[in-house]
Amino acid sequence: MTPHLVLRVVSKLLIPLIVVFGLYVHFHGDYSPGGGFQAGVIVAAAVILYALIFGIDSAKRAVPTWFVKFMAALGVLLFGGTGVASLILGANFLDYDVLHPDLAHHTGQHIGIILVELGVLSTVFSVMMAIFYAFAGRAPDIPEGEW
């Protein structure tokens, strides 16, 4: 019988729900409290919980460090790219109105904010993971015997 059976079973149940809740917070970001930052932290918390219960090595198999680095950069590019897209469409930087012709309902603003928040989600999630991996995976500089 493996140790911490209850924790393992309960966390396996909870982790998908935490991720879904994170996405829920994200997609509410454009018209209610929430958004990419909170969502990124919540999704990262799900992976960190996984790492705490099942070990850092299996967490790194699920979310590898190269993926973390890639997503962190991708998020910044997505945020900035939304701004550049509005530049190319002929408006000022980050002017989302040009993204969609329906000005009456500010559809362009909604699309723009969801895209920008998606970039924030990606970067915040990745940076949280990177910080966690850096601390959790830290080997002492001085060998234990030489303290």
Partner 1 sequence: MEFLASLIPPSLSAHAPAVIVVTPLLMAAVAALMPNGRLGWAVTLISTVFAALLALSLIVEVQSAGVISYAMGGWAPPAGIEFRIDALNAVLLLVIAALGLLSVIYALPSVADEIAEDRQALFYSAFLVCFAGLVGVAITGDAFNMFVFLEISSISTYVLVGMGANHDRRALTAAYNYLVLGTIGATFFVIGVGFLYMATGTLNMADMASRLPDLSDSRVVQAAFAFIIVGLGLKAAMFPLHLWLPNAYAYAPNFVTSFLASTATKVAFYTLVRFLFDVFWPEAPFVAVSFLWVFAILGIVGMIVASVQAVFQDDARRLLAFSSVAQVGYMMLGLGIGTAAGVSAGMLHLVNHAMMKGALFMALGAFAIRFGIRRISDLNGFAQSMPFTSIAFTIAGLSLVGVPMTVGFWSKWYLGVAALENGWWWAVAALILSSLIALAYVARMLAAIWVAEPHHDKAGAIAHARAPWLMLGPLWVLAIANIWFFFQPDFLVSLTNAAAQAALSGATR
Verify binding: residue 31, partner 1, rule CB under 8 A: no
Q: Point out which span in 22-30, 33-41, 51-59, 83-91 binds partner 1 (CB under 8 A).
A: 83-91
Verify binding: residue 94, partner 1, rule CB under 8 A: yes
- Could you say which of 9, 23, 62, 77 contacts partner 1 (CB under 8 A)? 77
Backbone φ and ψ of 29, nearest 5° = -60, -25
Verify binding: residue 83, partner 1, rule CB under 8 A: yes
Count CB-CB contacts under 10 A for residue 20: 13
Verify binding: residue 30, partner 1, rule CB under 8 A: no
Verify binding: residue 24, partner 1, rule CB under 8 A: no
What is the 8-class DSSP label of residue 137?
A: T
Q: Point out which span in 19-27, 35-43, 50-58, 87-95 binds partner 1 (CB under 8 A).
A: 87-95
For residue 93, the Cα-to-chain-centroid distance in whole angstroms is 24
Find, among 74, 23, 16, the residue nearest to 47 by Cα.
16
Q: Rounded CA gap, 100 and 82, in Å?
A: 13
- Could you say which of 14, 27, 95, 110 contacts partner 1 (CB under 8 A)? 95
**What region does 59 belong to: left with phi over 0, alpha with psi -120 to 50, or beta?**
alpha
Give the footprint of partner 1 on this chain (CB under 8 A): 69-70, 72-74, 76-77, 80-81, 83-84, 87, 91-97
